[in-house]
Amino acid sequence: MKGLAVALVVLVGVGGCSKGSGAAAAAKAPPAGDPAAQPEPRVIESGEVDPAWLSYDAATKTVNFHLIAGLTGLNGALNFNGFRDGGLTLTVPKGWTVAIRVTNHDGMLPHSAEVIPETKPVPTEPVPPAFDGAFTVPLAQGLSPLGEDGMRFVADRVGSFLIFCGVPGHGAAGMWLRLKVSGTARAPSLTAAPAGKS
Ligand SMILES: [Cu+2]
């Protein structure tokens, strides 16, 4: 099934849809400026961090993160970037602009993404976002298989947050990562932790 999904990604290419794709596309475009030239995510194993997911510009205080729903078969594909239950943490310095490109790599299920306050238990459906604009559209319905959207927001307060799938039941089933907004970090970073730690 994973192989099928990868094949479909190659065949279908960029399936655009959604809100604010203009602004989001501008935010996430590489210096070359051609979104169509963006490489598809390479196939990796669950728990492996691909350095290509994260890039940033210290001059403009902007961090670009590629969030990939259902990248691997982990947790019935209810994972982001091959991680579940907060196993991957994106840390950004306070005040930086966070641009997240969201790709639904799952060939079967819809997925979405939303930054929410850290809460236990993890919500079973969408809640108000922690930052203005920190969600994909449609949030509860999710992006179609192989669909794509983006979000852009200013991480204007320190704290611990979740990057959570808003499709009912997915987040609570483990489809969430962590976002830490730090008052002391000098640069963004991506850190893997043992799976299941929450
Ligand atoms: Cu999901």
What confidence tens digit (pLDDT) does each residue in 103-120 have?
Answer: 999 999 999 999 999 999
Nearest to 3 by CA among 133, 127, 105: 105
> How far, in Å, is the centroid of ligand 1 from the Cα of 20?
21
By mean pLDDT, which of 23-37, 66-80, 148-162 is the weakest?
Answer: 23-37
> How far, in Å, is the centroid of ligand 1 from the Cα of 37?
26
DSSP structure class, residue 5: H
pLDDT at 40: 65
Helix (H, G, I), strand (E, B) or coil at 148: strand
Strand-strand pairing, 62-69 and 97-104: parallel
**For the segment 149-192, what is each residue's pLDDT rounded down to a tens digit?**
999 999 999 999 999 999 999 999 999 999 999 999 999 999 99
> How far, in Å, is the centroid of ligand 1 from the Cα of 32?
31
**Six token digits for residue 133:** 């604009």
> How far, in Å, is the centroid of ligand 1 from the Cα of 50?
21
Q: What is the pTM of this model?
A: 0.78
Neighbours of ion ligand 1 (CB under 5 A): 111, 165, 167, 170, 175
Write down all domains in the chain, each with its CATH number in brackets. 2-30+48-192 (2.60.40.420)
> How far, in Å, is the centroid of ligand 1 from the Cα of 142?
7
